[in-house]
C-alpha cells in the first residue's frame, strides 16, 4: 500500500461508489418498472431537456453528454424517435449535422421520473457528501 494512500482513502472511495451503485440500481429498477426506459435512454432525455438549444443537440453533442460512442447515441435516438420522445432532423446549413430535440411527449415522460430521481438523490446526498468530504481531505 502506498504510504500516502491510507485505509480511510479506500473506505471513502468504496463508500462513494457504494452510494452511486445504490442510486444507479434504484434508477434502473424505476425506469424499467415505470417507463420501460433504459438508464441510457433516460439520460438522453435528461441531457436533451437540460442542455438543448432551440434546435436541440447535435448527435455528437448528445454522445459527449452521455459519454458514449457516436453510433450508440444514434441507436438511442432511433429508439426514442420510435417512441415519439424525440425528433431528429438534419441541419439546414450543414446537412451532415443531425439535431435531436425533445418532444412534448418526451418532456411529459421525463418530468415525473426526474422528480423521483431528485428525491432519491436528496435521500442519498448525506451519504455521498460525507464520502466526497473524506475523498477531498
pLDDT at residue 51 above 90?
yes
In a domain, 2, yes or no: no
State the Cα–Cα distance between residues 134 and 19, nearest whole angstrom: 14
Q: What is the CATH number of the domain that holds 55?
A: 1.10.10.10
For the chain, the residue count is 137
Would the pLDDT of 1 be above 60? Answer: no
Give the pLDDT mean for 72-100: 96
Q: Is residue 116 part of a domain?
A: yes
User: With the C-alpha atoms ordered 53, 50, 133, 23, is the resulting torsion angle positive or negative?
Assistant: negative
pLDDT of residue 3: 63
Q: Is residue 114 part of a domain?
A: yes
Residue 101 covered by a domain: yes
pLDDT, residue 2, reads 59
Half-sphere exposure of 66 (CA within 13 A, CB side): 28
pLDDT for 128: 96
Number of domains the chain is built from:
1
Q: Which of 16, 7, 13 is nearest to 125 (CA)?
A: 16
Q: Is the pLDDT of residue 78 over 60?
A: yes
Q: Is 67 left (phi over 0), alpha (psi -120 to 50) or beta?
A: left
Domain boundaries, position 24:
7-136
125 in a structural domain? yes
Reported pTM: 0.91
Amino acid at each position: 500500500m502506498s504510504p500516502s494512500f491510507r485505509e480511510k482513502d479506500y473506505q471513502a472511495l468504496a463508500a462513494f461508489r457504494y452510494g452511486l451503485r445504490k442510486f444507479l440500481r434504484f434508477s434502473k429498477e424505476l425506469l424499467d418498472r415505470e417507463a420501460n426506459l433504459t438508464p441510457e435512454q433516460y439520460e438522453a432525455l435528461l441531457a436533451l431537456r437540460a442542455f438543448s438549444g432551440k434546435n436541440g443537440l447535435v448527435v455528437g453533442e448528445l454522445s459527449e453528454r452521455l459519454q458514449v460512442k457516436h453510433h450508440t447515441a444514434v441507436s438511442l435516438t432511433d429508439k426514442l424517435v420510435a417512441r415519439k420522445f424525440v425528433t431528429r432532423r438534419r441541419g439546414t446549413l450543414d446537412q451532415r449535422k443531425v439535431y435531436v430535440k425533445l418532444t412534448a411527449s418526451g418532456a411529459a415522460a421525463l418530468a415525473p421520473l426526474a422528480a423521483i430521481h431528485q428525491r432519491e438523490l436528496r435521500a442519498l446526498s448525506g451519504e455521498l457528501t460525507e464520502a466526497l468530504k473524506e475523498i477531498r481531505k
